[in-house]
Amino acid sequence: MTNLIYNKMKSYLIILLFSISYLSSFSQEKNSFSLTEAQKFALENNYQKVNAENDLLIAKKKVWETTGIGLPQVTAEAKFQNFIELPTTLVPASTFDPTAPSDQYAELKFGTDYNTTASITASQLLFDGSYLVGLKASRVYKEYAEKNVAKTELQVKEDVGQAYFLVLVAEENKKILSEVAQTTTKLLDETIRIYEEGLIEEQSVDQLKLTLNDINNSLAEADRQIAISKNLLKFQIGFDINNEIVLTDKIDALLAFTDSENSLTSNFDFNNHVEFQSIKVNERLMKLNFNKEKFSFAPSVAAFFNYQKQNMSNQFDAFSGGKWYPQTLWGISVSLPIIAGGSRLAKTGQAKVEYLKAQTNSKQVEQSLILQAQKSRSEYISALSIYYNQKDGLALAEKINNQAIKKYNEGIISSLNLSQTQNQYLESEGKYIKSLLDLFNAKSNLNKALGTN
C-alpha cells in the first residue's frame, strides 16, 4: 500500500516537473524578440500607443455626443404639489363691488390643495448652423485622433528600433572587449612565466596588468550598458522590466539596409507624410471653428410637442379616481441673437486669426519636412561612409594588433610597444561602435523624415 502511494506521488511529481519545465520554456520563448516582434509587441503594449488609441475612442464618442444634439429629444416629467397655504391674490374690490373705494383690494385664493402633473415633451432641432459645423468638426477631430495614432505608431517603432539596436551595439562592444581581454590575459600569463624565469623585466608584467585592468573596467561598464539598454527596450515595448528579455536579431541583419539606396533615390512627397496630414487636419479644424463662430449670427429653429395631464383637488385623489385635465400643444421656436455686446464679433475675429495661423503652420511644416528629408539623406550618406571606414579601420587595427602580439612573443618589440598597439586597437573599436550607433540613428532619422517605418 505504501509503495503504491509512493509510486503515485512519484508519477504526479514527474508530471508536475514536466509541466513546469514546459511552461518555463514556453515563457522563455515569449521573452525572445526579433526587432519586428518587439515593434509589434510595442504597438499593443506601449504606454503612449495605448493612450493614443484611448484618445481615438474618446473622439469617436465625441462624434456620437455631437450627433445626438440634432436627434429628437424626449423628456418626461412628473410633479406633485401640496399647498399648505394657498397663495393669496389681491384684486381691486371694485371688481366685485362697484361702490368700493379705488384703493381697496379683495383678498382671493385660487387653486386646490393638491396638484399633480405628468407631462411628456419632444423636441427636434430643425436648423442650427453652429450645430451643423460642430457635427462636421467632431468627425474631423476623429480623423485628427486617427492621424495621431499613426504618428504614435511610427514614433513607437522608431524608439523601439533605437533601443533594440542600442542593446545589440552594447553586446557587440562587450564581445570585442571580451576577446581582447582574453588575448591580453593569455599574454599576461605567458609574460609572468617568462618574468619568473628572469628573461624579462618586471615592467613588462606591470604594463600588461595595467592594460588588462583598463580592459576589465571597460567590460564592467559594458555590462552596465547592456543592462540599462535592455531595461530601456523593455520600457519602450511595454514589457515588465523585472523579466528577462532575449534579442534574436543580429547587427548584420539590421544593417542590411545599407546595401539599399531606394530610400535615397525615391521621390519624397510631403503630402504622404503623416506629420503633414496631421497639420492639415488641424487646419481644417480651425476653419470649421471659424465657420461655427460666423454661424453664431444665424437663427436657430426647433420644433416641439408637449402633452400633459393635471390633477387638481383639495383631496389627494390622483390615483384613486380623481379627474385629470389634459393639455396638448406643439409649436416652433426661433432664436435669433441680436446684441451681445460685441463678444461674438470678437470671438469670430479670434477664430479667423487662428485659422490664418493654422494655414501658416501648414506651410511651415511642408517646408520643414522637405528640408529635414534633404538633411537626413545627407547625414545618412555621411554616417554610412564613416561606418564603412571605421569597419575597415577596426579590421586593420586588429591585424596590426595580432602582428604586434606575434612580434612581442618573438621578443622583437617591448610590452610598451604592444600596449600602444592594443590601445590603438581599442580606440578603433570605440570609433567603430560609435559609427554603428551614428549609422542606425541616421537611418532612423531618415525614416522619420520620409515618414516610413
Rounded average pLDDT over 356-384: 91
Q: Is the pLDDT of residue 27 over 70?
A: no
Here the contacts of 172-178 (C-beta below 8 Å, separation 24 or greater) are 172/251, 172/433, 172/436, 173/222, 173/225, 173/429, 173/433, 174/219, 174/222, 174/223, 174/226, 176/429, 176/433, 177/215, 177/218, 177/219, 177/222, 177/426, 177/429, 178/219
pLDDT at 219 over 50: yes
Residue 18 has pLDDT above 80, yes or no: no
Is residue 71 classed as helix, strand or coil in its secondary structure?
A: coil
Instruction: State the SS3 of 357-374.
Output: HHHHHHHHHHHHHHHHHH
pLDDT computed for residue 266 by the predictor = 58
Half-sphere CA count of 420, side-chain side, radius 13 A: 5
Within 10 A of 182 (CB to CB), how many other CB atoms are there?
11
Tens-digit pLDDT profile for residues 406-438: 888 888 888 788 888 888 988 998 899 999 889
Indicate the pLDDT class of residue 391, thresholds 50, 70 and 90.
very high
Q: What is the pTM of this model?
A: 0.70
Percent of the chain scoring above 90 in pLDDT: 25
pLDDT (tens digit per residue) in 76-91: 999 999 888 888 888 8
Longest dimension (CA), the chain: 149
Average pLDDT over residues 6-22: 45
Quote the pLDDT of residue 30: 56
Question: What is residue 400's predicted lDDT score, i.e. its pLDDT?
Answer: 92
Can you tell me the mean pLDDT for 110-127? 89
Mean per-residue pLDDT, 115-137:
87
- At 299 the three-state DSSP class reads coil
Average pLDDT over residues 296-323: 87
**Helix pair angle (202-237, 129-196), 10° resolution:** 160
pLDDT over 60 at 393, yes or no: yes
Q: Is the pLDDT of residue 360 over 90?
A: yes
Distance (Å, rounded) from C-alpha 189 to C-alpha 211? 13
Mean per-residue pLDDT of the chain: 84
